[in-house]
Amino acid sequence: MSKIGENMVLGIGIDIIEIVRVERALWRRRSLLGRLFTPPEIAYCLERGRPGASLAARFAAKEAVRKACSSAIPGEVIPWLDVEIDMDKGHPMVNFLGKTAQKAVANGIRDVFVSLSHSEEYACASVVLSGDQ
C-alpha cells in the first residue's frame, strides 16, 4: 500500500459520465434528484450556470467514492445519500453521512481527497481515501 504523509492509501476510485445522460435521467424521473443528492447538493447545483453539469460531477464523485470504499469498507454498498459533495472555499470535499460516517471511522478512513471536472460533454471525478489500516 502507498502512503500519504503518515496515512496509508485505503482506496482509489474514478468515474466519468455523460452530462446529457444525467440531465435526461433527472428530467424523465424527477424523483431521482432527491434519491441521489442531498438538499445542500441540490441547492448548490441549481445555482450554477448549467445545473446538469454540476449534478453530473457530483454523481461521478459519489460513484468514485463508492468504488474507493469497496476496498476500504468491504462488503458494503454505500447509499447515495450517505455521500455528500460539499464545497469548502471553492474546493470540493466529501462528507460521509449516516451509518457510512460511522463505518468510515471504524474502517480507518481519515481523509478523502476528491477532484471534480467537467467539459461540455463529460463530468468526471477521482477519489483517494487515506487513513489507518
Residue 118 annotated in active site: yes
Core vs surface per residue 78-94: b (16+ CB within 10 A) or e: bebbbbbbeeeeeebeb
| Residue 59 near residue 116 (C-beta atoms within 8 A) | no
Catalytic residue from among 3, 62, 99, 118: 118
Residue 89 annotated in active site: no
What stretches of 19-108 adopt beta strand conformation (E)? 83-88, 91-96
| Residue 54 near residue 26 (C-beta atoms within 8 A) | no
Catalytic residue from among 62, 67, 99, 103: 67
Q: What are phi and psi of 70, to 5 degrees?
A: -60, -30
Active site residues: 67, 118
